[in-house]
Structure 1
Amino acid sequence: MPRFMGFVRMEEGGGAPPQALFDAMDKYIGEQAGTGHFLDGGGLFGTEDAVNFVVRKGETTRVDGPYAEAKEVVGGWALLQYDSLEEAIAGQQEFAELHAKYWPECEMVATLRQISDGAPEPTDA
């Protein structure tokens, strides 16, 4: 059964979501977990304590947050499992629509990506 990652990207510092969204999300996630579609997930803390390792031209550099130049950050994630891509897309749309309904002033992007079960093909560098 295909697995997917769902990501929520939004501007950092946009305020806390309303309780109505938390309540709707609890219900939705409970239903999705009950059907086996929601495997795991959660919100993420802000970038103030984030750590990135940037690899560029054979060098690794550590860059600590916060990141003033970041316009959007990943604020949450979910590990999902569906029978088909079409079902996964419908589930992610339903998730995004909860935000539109219960937090209409929020601007966010809900991204869905399928998880690869195989090793990537090597490339000649």
Structure 2
Amino acid sequence: MEENLDTAPPPSLFEAMDAYIGERAAKGIFLDGGGLFGTEDAVNFVVREGEVTRVDGPYAEAKEIVGGWSLLEYPTVEEAVADQEEFAALHAKHWPEVTVVATLRQISEGPEDAGA
């Protein structure tokens, strides 16, 4: 599948996402989230061997760009996985010409979670 990140997502995806987020917000699952601008004004700080280097965007070679984020809370990991698959399916249905990687990660509650 060819990636085409130069085009905006179709309006139908925004409508489907609004419904998806609204349902989860009503259930108390969706806590926060938002979209991100492109990399044209992005600034990365790279720490390597004790030195900090600043790298300004845009990043023409970037193959993976975070386009948005959300914070959700589920009773079980299984429910989170199932819902994340539904989220990915929205993109497959409404924007099939783009490659999207939807990543699900848990939040660490503190040092006791390190390495978990």
Provide TM-score, normalisation by structure 1.
0.84
> Which whole-Å CA distance do the structure 2 matches of 1:92 and 1:103 have between them?
16
Contact kept, 8 Å, 1:12 with 1:72, in 2: the verdict is: no
Work out the number of aligned pairs and report it. Answer: 112
Inter-CA distance 93–121: structure 2 relative to 1 (3 Å threshold): closer
| Structure 2 unmatched runs, 5+ | none
> In the TM superposition, what are the counterparts of 1:6-17 in structure 2 within 5 Å?
13-17=5-9
Equivalent residue for 2:83, pick from 84, 91, 112: 91
Q: How big is the alpha-carbon RMSD for the aligned residues of Structure 1 and Structure 2?
A: 1.6
2:37 counterpart residue number:
45
> Which whole-Å CA distance do the structure 1 matches of 2:114 and 2:83 have between them?
30
Give, in angstroms, the shift of residue 12 of structure 1: 7.2
2:98 counterpart residue number:
106
> Which whole-Å CA distance do the structure 1 matches of 2:20 and 2:11 have between them?
14
Whichever residue aligns with residue 70 of structure 2, its letter is A
Whichever residue aligns with residue 113 of structure 1, its letter is R
Give, in angstroms, the shift of residue 64 of structure 1: 0.8
SS of 2:40 mapped into structure 1: helix
Provide TM-score, normalisation by structure 2.
0.90
Confirm or deny that 1:22 pairs with 2:4.
no
Equivalent residue for 2:58, pick from 60, 66, 71: 66
Confirm or deny that 1:56 pairs with 2:48.
yes
| Structure 1 unmatched runs, 5+ | 1-10
> Which whole-Å CA distance do the structure 2 matches of 1:97 and 1:115 have between them?
23
1:3 counterpart residue number:
none
Q: Which has the higher contact order (CA 8 A, sep 6+)?
A: 1
Give, in angstroms, the shift of residue 69 of structure 1: 1.8
> Which whole-Å CA distance do the structure 2 matches of 1:24 and 1:101 have between them?
10
> In the TM superposition, what are the counterparts of 1:73-84 in structure 2 within 5 Å?
73-84=65-76
Whichever residue aligns with residue 13 of structure 1, its letter is L
Contact kept, 8 Å, 2:4 with 2:98, in 1: the verdict is: no
